[in-house]
């Protein structure tokens, strides 16, 4: 649920809600609306599906979400969290372009879409541990596992979403919720 919220596909739900049938339906339909996991969404919302089928489809949907940038809602969601100037630094794109991507006036280039997606995935992991202010500050703190650099130092400019640095930042964020149910 946190990943779908961080990607901007659904509105944040406030306090952690029970991950029941209605929440699964919301997640599946929101992802399918952006072309992600349409067939999986059918399995998840079909009342004839077994719990095992739903569980498998949900795992596959999470993997599809992790691999599928959605630049328009991600830009919108990340702009709300970071503001235009800070997001411009993190995403390696101008604030004006980011606003255009968020509004759907212009499509994001693949490299920017990839960076926005990695940022959304990181934020999705951090949402389980921090509030908005804590998330913003998390990017500023030095990490020994990043050779005493900050996440924002590794995620500045035109970084490659598939490079080791962004992967290490995502892994640190993911480790905060390693024991939590996802």
Cα gap 175→126, rounded to integer Å? 9
User: Are residues 105 and 63 part of one domain?
Assistant: no
User: Are residues 87 and 104 part of one domain?
Assistant: yes
Structural domain harbouring 92: 71-175
Question: Of residues 85 and 12, which shows the higher confidence score?
Answer: 85
Question: What would the mean pLDDT of 74-81 be, rounded to a whole number?
Answer: 97
**Domain end (from 67, 92, 124):** 67
Does residue 180 fall inside a structural domain? no
Q: What is the pLDDT of residue 21?
A: 73
Q: What is the pLDDT of residue 181?
A: 44
Which residues contact residue 112 at a Cβ distance below 8 angstroms, ignoring those fewer than 6 apart? 71, 91, 92, 93, 97, 101
Question: What would the mean pLDDT of 56-80 be, rounded to a whole number?
Answer: 95
User: Are residues 93 and 157 part of one domain?
Assistant: yes
Question: What would the mean pLDDT of 1-29 be, rounded to a whole number?
Answer: 76
Quickly tell me which residue has 């969601």 as its tokens: 77
Quickly tell me which residue has 């209605």 as its tokens: 22
Which residues contact residue 96 at a Cβ distance below 8 angstroms, ignoring those fewer than 6 apart? none
Domains held by the chain: number = 2
Task: Using pLDDT thresholds of 50, 70 and 90, give the confidence band for residue 11.
Answer: confident
User: Are residues 80 and 106 part of one domain?
Assistant: yes
User: Are residues 82 and 49 part of one domain?
Assistant: no
Say how many Å lie between the first and final Cα of the chain, rounded. 8
Task: Using pLDDT thresholds of 50, 70 and 90, give the confidence band for residue 128.
Answer: confident
Q: What is the pLDDT of residue 27?
A: 87
User: Are residues 128 and 77 part of one domain?
Assistant: yes
User: Are residues 23 and 98 part of one domain?
Assistant: no
């Amino acid at each position: 649920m946190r990943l779908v919220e961080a990607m901007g596909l659904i509105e944040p739900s406030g306090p952690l809600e029970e991950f029941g049938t209605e929440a699964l339906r919301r997640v599946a339909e929101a992802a399918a609306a952006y072309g992600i996991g349409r067939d999986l969404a059918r399995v998840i919302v079909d009342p004839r599906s077994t719990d095992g089928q739903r569980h498998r489809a949900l795992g596959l949907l999470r993997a599809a979400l992790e691999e599928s940038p959605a630049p328009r809602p991600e830009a919108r969601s990340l702009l709300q969290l970071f503001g235009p100037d800070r997001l411009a630094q993190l995403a390696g794109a101008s604030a004006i372009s980011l606003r255009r991507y968020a509004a759907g006036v212009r499509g994001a280039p693949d490299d920017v879409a990839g960076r926005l997606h990695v940022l959304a995935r990181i934020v999705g992991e951090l949402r389980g541990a921090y509030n908005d202010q804590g998330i913003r500050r998390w990017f500023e703190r030095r990490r020994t596992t990043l050779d005493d650099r900050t996440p924002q130092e590794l995620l500045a400019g035109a970084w490659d979403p598939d490079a080791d640095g962004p992967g290490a930042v995502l892994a640190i964020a993911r480790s905060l919720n390693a024991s939590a149910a996802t």
